[in-house]
Amino acid sequence: MERPELPLPQLHAFVVLAEELHFGHAAARLGIAQPPLSQQIRRLEDKVGHALFHRAPGRIALTPAGRELLPAARCALAAVTDGLVAARAVGSGVAGRLRIGFAASLALTVLPGLLRTFRDRFPDVHLDIHEMTTAPQLTALHDKIIDIGLVREPPGDETELGFRTVLTEPFVAVLPSTHPLAAHRTVRVEQLAGSPFVLLPREAGPQLYDQITGLCTATGFTPRVAQHAVEWQTVCALVGTGLGVSLAPASIRRIRLKGVAFRGIEPSTARTRVAVAWRKDERNPMVARLLATVTGPR
């Protein structure tokens, strides 16, 4: 049997008349005259194929077909109303979904506070969190897999993405606790020249990798990379086993691993930048809402 299409105005008129059981009262409630109301009901009955109301002088009553239709009509109208409310909420950026990528080390710094602030302001927004290094985040933004990225050392030649700095931090030396330099409060970068290095692969974050190796070459040596690891926690764990040393953002000190020592470096002026990234042509209003919660660099 073919399913009839039931226009919403006719369903609305039917529900109001079913509740009032009086054409005059129902028409007044709908803000229309009685003849248009009667026409709406007739059209609906034509679509159903059966009378929905018994009509008698001075009174009307629902037919069995009308009683069957009434709960379904109410549900349909309620679903449309709920859908309109949800659509308006999503359109205004107070509900919906926001996909966020983040570099793992930022779970130790800006990510918790940023998410907490955003959730306090927009509790109805579903946050879909993806852990990935900087370069994959930039690709995911271009491919519209994520809406927002939290990246380290964003590229300077990017034209389609916007970046807003949220944090800058110095570097530290990551040493095995048995390393002779671990006895010092600070370490000069050139003192690491004789040690093998454990670093993130360059493809994970080219700008950060080049910044770290640049700290070494600026003091007269090229780091000898003995091992790569994708996450800073793994870098620290490998350093703790004695495989080498590393230079890392200072927030890495919050990773507490036995056998690993963190020391300040000289020169101490070098800093790494953390930024929020987004597509410049993004139309998801929640992206703008999140950006509005972002504070300046610390």
- Number of folded domains in the chain? 3
Q: What is the CATH number of the domain that holds 233?
A: 3.40.190.10
In a domain, 69, yes or no: yes
Task: Supply the mean pLDDT for the chain.
Answer: 88
Most confidently modeled range among 60-64, 149-153, 188-192 = 188-192
- Enter the pTM of the model: 0.65
Residue 1 confidence (pLDDT) above 50: no
Residue 173: the pLDDT is 97
CA-nearest of 238, 5, 121, 34 to 16 is: 34
Final residue of a domain: which of 70, 91, 112? 91
In a domain, 298, yes or no: no
Residue 240 confidence (pLDDT) above 70: yes
At 218, the pLDDT band (50, 70, 90 cuts) reads very high
Shared domain for 202 and 243, answered yes or no, is: yes
Shared domain for 282 and 266, answered yes or no, is: no
Q: What is the CATH number of the domain that holds 52?
A: 1.10.10.10
Gap between the Cα atoms of 27 and 13, Å rounded: 8
In a domain, 116, yes or no: yes
Shared domain for 280 and 152, answered yes or no, is: yes
Shared domain for 214 and 81, answered yes or no, is: no
Interacting residues of 192 by C-beta distance below 8 A, sequence separation 6+? 173, 181, 216, 223, 245, 247
Shared domain for 250 and 282, answered yes or no, is: no
Shared domain for 82 and 110, answered yes or no, is: no
At 158, the pLDDT band (50, 70, 90 cuts) reads confident
Shared domain for 204 and 286, answered yes or no, is: no
Shared domain for 242 and 174, answered yes or no, is: yes
The Cα-based distances of 103 to 97, 141, 206, 255, 274 in angstroms read 20, 14, 14, 14, 10
pLDDT tens digits along 191-217: 999 999 999 999 988 999 999 999 999
Mean local confidence (pLDDT), 133-161: 91
Shared domain for 180 and 254, answered yes or no, is: yes
CB atoms under 10 Å from CB of 86, counted, come to 13
Gap between the Cα atoms of 139 and 82, Å rounded: 36
Count helices and strands (H / E) in the chain.
9, 12
Shared domain for 113 and 145, answered yes or no, is: yes
In a domain, 1, yes or no: no
Residue 210: the pLDDT is 94
In a domain, 257, yes or no: yes
Shared domain for 189 and 209, answered yes or no, is: yes
Mean local confidence (pLDDT), 260-266: 95
At 79, the pLDDT band (50, 70, 90 cuts) reads confident
Interacting residues of 143 by C-beta distance below 8 A, sequence separation 6+? none
In a domain, 176, yes or no: yes
Gap between the Cα atoms of 34 and 11, Å rounded: 16
In a domain, 13, yes or no: yes
Show the tokens assigned to 44: 């609906």
Shared domain for 244 and 259, answered yes or no, is: yes
In a domain, 3, yes or no: no
pLDDT tens digits along 97-120: 889 999 888 888 888 888 898 888
Mean local confidence (pLDDT), 47-63: 88
Residue 91: the pLDDT is 66
Question: Can you give the residue range of the structural domain that contains 148?
Answer: 96-165+273-293
CB of 268 closer than 8 Å to CB of 169: no
Any idea which residue has 């691993």 for tokens?
257
